[in-house]
């Protein structure tokens, strides 16, 4: 049997994707009902690699793979799957096997596994868990979705401040219900209120008789259980945290969030922002055709409405366009340049708002900077396009018209790219979702109106 290191080397190509020959070999073994070969190929894979493999496979083959692996299927893999695939895999597994998986997982992964299931399925699985584990998961599920309470794990080590270092070390050696990995010991009072934390390296350097209170960091950065996970990720990045205690409304410690949980949030939030900027919503590569169509239709419909608005502007100058065909040739250039310039500014602005780098304190300065950038780019491209138009159509007046229109549209695009996201954010509307439609509309309408309006005034 190949070692885990050798398996990993042969599993991924130079770009980090699963090797095509490996996937095809596995599929062929599944189709041939070669159980021995399937298990040899898949049972020793890391759970993240196995999750990627399952997501690549067609739905009917996914079920075959899991059934073939049987007890060799690593339940931690379920927590690595994207939501649509995870739910489909859980449906294909017997309730008993899912319950066994939940028992083996840390509490945060168990919550992720169950949170989107139907209430009946969730109840069936929870009913098969020991009472203490069931109560822990139910309590976590009561917290708002995408909150610290959903993200945290409830397994942590907490000791009173009067314990000695020796007592604490003995407790860690002998305890049966301790987390598998940890980097801090948390210090609590009799009412479970957080007192502080002790880093493992600091504790291991202390003498056994030393009281925990003497080496406790009283400035432990606590996170409220109902805090949004995106804000949690920002706090980890801002304060260089490895782990952080989670407290309830009364200041009692209820869990801990570790950096590996936050890495998942950062990737999820970044993916969500990119999708929203593209108007595709909460979409996954593993989604069905129907779900993707529904996800994209609404924003395409909105884009259609804004495109009609731009066409209405063009229709007001149909007589002008009929007199000079060159206007129809050059018109898309003005709109396209404005649209791209607006998208550049909007992308930076939306991300800065999401990371709290752009707000009321520095908004005026950033708006002024973007306006100046738009004006300078407008002047530069006005010069370039004015000369191109002159040599192309032999008309200096037409060159001046498109030059002026570019200056106007790139300046407006820069302002729209930052003012629209700021305005939407002020109205508690997610700027990542709605900004692109409005920015595109503004640049199209202003671009067409400026170019055709100036042409009507100067050329005819």
The CATH number for 108's domain is: 1.25.60.10
Q: Are residues 314 and 407 in the same domain?
A: yes
Tell me the C-alpha distance between 118 and 132, whole Å.
Answer: 22
Tell me the C-alpha distance between 271 and 288, whole Å.
Answer: 18
Contacts 24+ apart (CB under 8 A), 84-91: 84/284, 84/286, 84/287, 84/288, 84/291, 85/54, 85/55, 85/286, 86/113, 87/116, 87/117, 88/59, 88/62, 89/54, 89/62, 89/63, 90/117, 90/121, 91/121
Higher pLDDT, 256 or 267: 256
Q: Does the pLDDT of residue 62 top 80, yes or no?
A: yes
Domain boundary among 111, 146, 181: 146
Q: Domain for residue 439, yes or no?
A: yes
Element (H, E) at 327: helix 325-354
Q: Are residues 293 and 266 in the same domain?
A: no
Domain extent for 427:
289-459
What pLDDT is stored for residue 5 in this prediction?
39
Average pLDDT over residues 179-185: 86
Lowest mean pLDDT among 56-70, 261-275, 382-396: 261-275
Q: Are residues 322 and 421 in the same domain?
A: yes
Mean pLDDT of the chain: 87
> What is the bridge-based pairing of β-strands 243-247 and 223-224?
parallel
Q: Domain for residue 281, yes or no?
A: no
Q: Are residues 162 and 142 in the same domain?
A: no
What pLDDT is stored for residue 6 in this prediction?
37
| Sheet of strand 243-247: strand arrangement | 223-224, 243-247, 253-258
Q: Domain for residue 318, yes or no?
A: yes
Tell me the C-alpha distance between 436 and 145, whole Å.
Answer: 27
Tell me the C-alpha distance between 450 and 460, whole Å.
Answer: 15
Domain boundary among 96, 117, 146: 146
What pLDDT is stored for residue 360 in this prediction?
83
Domain boundary among 232, 249, 276: 276
> What phi, psi does 145 have (nearest 5°)?
-60, 145
Q: Are residues 79 and 115 in the same domain?
A: yes
Q: Domain for residue 32, yes or no?
A: yes
pLDDT tens digits for range 429-456: 888 877 888 898 999 999 999 999 999 8
Q: Does the pLDDT of residue 1 top 80, yes or no?
A: no
pLDDT tens digits for range 200-210: 999 999 999 99
> What phi, psi does 453 have (nearest 5°)?
-65, -45
Name the domain count of the chain.
Answer: 3
Average pLDDT over residues 87-103: 83
Tell me the C-alpha distance between 160 and 185, whole Å.
Answer: 10
Q: Domain for residue 153, yes or no?
A: no
Tell me the C-alpha distance between 396 and 50, whole Å.
Answer: 65
Tell me the C-alpha distance between 342 and 336, whole Å.
Answer: 10
Q: Domain for residue 282, yes or no?
A: no
Beta strands in 248-391 (DSSP E): 253-258
For residue 326, the SS3 value is helix
pTM value?
Answer: 0.68
Cα dihedral 427, 432, 434, 437 in deg (nearest 10): 140
Q: Are residues 299 and 437 in the same domain?
A: yes
| Residue 324: both structure tokens together | 């000079």
Q: Domain for residue 163, yes or no?
A: yes
List the one residue out of 402, 407, 399 whose CA is nearest residue 331. 402
| Residue 322: both structure tokens together | 């009929």
Q: Domain for residue 197, yes or no?
A: yes
Q: Are residues 353 and 450 in the same domain?
A: yes
Q: What is the share, in percent, of the chain residues with pLDDT greater than 70?
A: 95
Tell me the C-alpha distance between 371 and 340, whole Å.
Answer: 15
Tell me the C-alpha distance between 11 and 9, whole Å.
Answer: 6
The CATH number for 260's domain is: 3.10.580.10
For 346, other C-beta atoms within 10 Å of its C-beta total: 26
Q: Are residues 293 and 408 in the same domain?
A: yes
Average pLDDT over residues 324-342: 90
Q: Are residues 82 and 129 in the same domain?
A: yes
Q: Are residues 329 and 249 in the same domain?
A: no
Tell me the C-alpha distance between 432 and 50, whole Å.
Answer: 33
Buried b / exposed e along 135-146 (16+ C-beta atoms within 10 A) = ebbebbbebeee
What pLDDT is stored for residue 279 in this prediction?
64
The CATH number for 377's domain is: 1.10.357.20
Q: Are residues 367 and 340 in the same domain?
A: yes
Q: Report the chain's C-alpha Rg in angstroms.
A: 29
Average pLDDT over residues 5-34: 80
Q: Are residues 387 and 453 in the same domain?
A: yes
Start-to-end C-alpha separation, the chain: 82
């Amino acid at each position: 049997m190949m070692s885990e290191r050798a398996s990993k080397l042969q599993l991924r190509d130079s770009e980090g994707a699963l090797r095509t020959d490996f996937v095809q070999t596995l599929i062929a073994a599944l189709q041939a009902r070669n159980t021995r070969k399937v298990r040899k190929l898949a049972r020793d894979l890391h759970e993240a690699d196995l999750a990627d493999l399952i997501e690549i496979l067609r739905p009917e083959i996914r079920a075959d793979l899991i059934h073939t692996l049987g007890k060799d299927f690593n339940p931690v893999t379920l927590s690595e799957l994207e939501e649509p695939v995870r739910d489909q895999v859980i449906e294909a597994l017997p309730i008993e096997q899912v319950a066994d998986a939940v028992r083996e997982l840390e509490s945060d992964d168990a919550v992720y596994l169950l949170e989107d299931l139907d209430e009946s399925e969730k109840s069936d699985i929870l009913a098969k868990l020991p009472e203490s584990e069931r109560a822990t998961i139910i309590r976590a599920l009561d917290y708002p979705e995408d909150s610290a309470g959903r993200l945290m794990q409830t397994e942590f080590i907490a000791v009173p401040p009067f314990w000695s270092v020796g007592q604490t070390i003995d407790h860690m050696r002998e305890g049966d219900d301790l987390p598998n990995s940890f980097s801090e010991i948390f210090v609590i009072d009799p009412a479970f209120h957080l007192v502080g934390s002790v880093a493992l390296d600091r504790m291991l350097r202390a003498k056994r008789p030393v009281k925990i209170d003497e080496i406790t960091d009283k400035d432990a950065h606590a996170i409220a259980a109902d805090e949004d996970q995106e804000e949690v990720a920002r706090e980890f990045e801002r304060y260089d945290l490895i782990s952080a205690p989670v407290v309830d409304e009364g200041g009692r410690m209820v869990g801990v969030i570790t950096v590996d949980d936050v890495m998942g949030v950062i990737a999820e939030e970044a993916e969500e922002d990119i999708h929203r900027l593209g108007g595709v919503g909460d979409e996954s590569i593993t989604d069905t055709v129907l779900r993707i169509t529904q996800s994209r239709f609404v924003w395409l419909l909105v884009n259609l409405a804004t495109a009609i608005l731009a066409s209405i502007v063009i229709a007001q100058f149909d007589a002008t366009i009929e007199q000079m065909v060159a206007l129809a040739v050059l018109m898309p250039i003005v709109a396209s340049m404005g649209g791209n310039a607006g998208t550049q500014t909007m992308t930076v602005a939306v991300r800065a708002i999401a990371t709290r780098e752009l707000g009321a304190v520095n908004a005026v300065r950033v708006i002024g900077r973007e306006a100046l950038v738009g004006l300078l780019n407008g002047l530069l491209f006005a010069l370039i396009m004015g000369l191109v138009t002159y040599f192309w159509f032999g008309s200096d007046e037409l060159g001046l018209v498109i030059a002026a229109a570019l200056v106007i549209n790139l300046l407006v695009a820069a302002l729209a790219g930052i003012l629209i996201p700021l305005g939407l954010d002020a109205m508690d509307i997610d700027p990542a979702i709605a900004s692109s439609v409005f920015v595109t509309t503004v640049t199209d309408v202003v671009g067409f109106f400026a170019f055709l309006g100036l042409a009507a005034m100067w050329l005819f």
